[in-house]
Chain A
Amino acid sequence: MTNNIVVDEIELEAWVKQHGAVQPPLAKHYLVRIDDRSYKVDDPVITGGQLLDEASKRPVDEYLIFQVLHNGQLEEIRLDETVELRKPGIERFITWRSDRSFRFVIDGRRFEWGAPMITGLKLKELAGVDLASYGVWLELRGAEDRPIADNESVDLQAPGVERFFTGKKTTTEG
């Protein structure tokens, strides 16, 4: 049974890059990326709280942890919620020190964000558009859309779900 083969160590992000959506074999250790660092865990079934603890984000209840899905979307993992690290598509996590998350919509897709501010560049990254040729706008009620520059921050704390959309501005004449 190939399932029982135990390798010493698997780096989850590298595995996905190499093998795509294929479940990695059982291993003694798993390297999982949280924010910008890799952490070694032994049990591939782990809670959000344990991941935060591994990354020394304590007290864990003052942090939020999100799984980064391959399409750039973020999914919040509750502290007591378990994640199967060997499930294909689990690549990395990011954390925020925050007491709540913020919700917004880009191009009709809903996102959760752990910080109260977000930049235009990040919005375009999340939307998965070409960063150089696309723009991003915030829809305003009863007014013109507000263009958001790459390095401009938008405050997500205003009441209501912010709605953004990306698009190209250029047309060709003739």
Chain B
Amino acid sequence: MSFLPSNDRQYLENRGLPFEEVVDASQKGVILREFQLPLGRFDTEQADILILLPSGYPDAPPDMFYLLPWVKLVQGAKYPKAADQPHQFNGQKWQRWSRHNNEWRPGTDGIWTMLKRIENALEVTA
């Protein structure tokens, strides 16, 4: 099933990021496969990233994001801050990164700006 807005799809394809659109009961999610994590920060180099799309997306913002496998910080071998809770999706327990968007521009923002926030959150996490 395909539910991503064409702008989002175009962005992901142009950037060459492999992705899948998955529906689990009432939840719709985009899974970015084998996403490269910032080098040397985590105990794994790549992970799948799940972005759940709320009903009303892209006018309504996506909120948190989810990783599989679960990652720990190399330094201290612990979970990153506010990333120690599971979320069930598509038969798997994802690592929930509780990160929130405070501003979202309907009609302008999309999966590309969500991804910038995710990349930044991965970069600055402690």
| Cross-chain contact A167 with B16 (CB below 8 angstroms) | no
Number of interchain pairs (Cβ within 8 Å): 59
Count how many chain A residues have C-beta atoms less than 8 Å from C-beta atoms of the other chain. 21
| Cross-chain contact A173 with B81 (CB below 8 angstroms) | yes
- Determine the interface band of chain B, counting residues with CB < 8 A from chain A: 20 to 34
**Majority SS of interface residues in chain A?**
loop
Bound complex: CA A48 to CA B12 (Å): 41
Selected contact of A171 from candidates B15, B16, B100, B108, CB within 8 Å: B100
Kindly supply a per-residue 1/0 record for chain A positions 27-70, scoring 1 wherever the CB is within 8 Å of any chain B CB and 0 otherwise.
Answer: 00000000000000000000000000000000000000000000
Q: Inside 8 A of B103's CB, which chain A residues have their CB?
A: 168
At the interface, yes or no: A71 with Cβ under 8 Å from chain B? no
Q: Inside 8 A of A170's CB, which chain B residues have their CB?
A: 117, 120
Q: Inside 8 A of A137's CB, which chain B residues have their CB?
A: 112, 116
| Cross-chain contact B14 with A167 (CB below 8 angstroms) | no
User: Distance in Å from the Cβ of B78 to the closest Cβ of chain A?
Assistant: 15
| Cross-chain contact B112 with A141 (CB below 8 angstroms) | no
Q: Inside 8 A of B101's CB, which chain A residues have their CB?
A: 168, 171
User: Distance in Å from the Cβ of A108 to the closest Cβ of chain B?
Assistant: 7
| Cross-chain contact B81 with A171 (CB below 8 angstroms) | no
User: Distance in Å from the Cβ of B87 to the closest Cβ of chain A?
Assistant: 16
| Cross-chain contact B108 with A107 (CB below 8 angstroms) | yes
| Cross-chain contact B116 with A139 (CB below 8 angstroms) | no
At the interface, yes or no: A142 with Cβ under 8 Å from chain B? yes
| Cross-chain contact B99 with A171 (CB below 8 angstroms) | yes
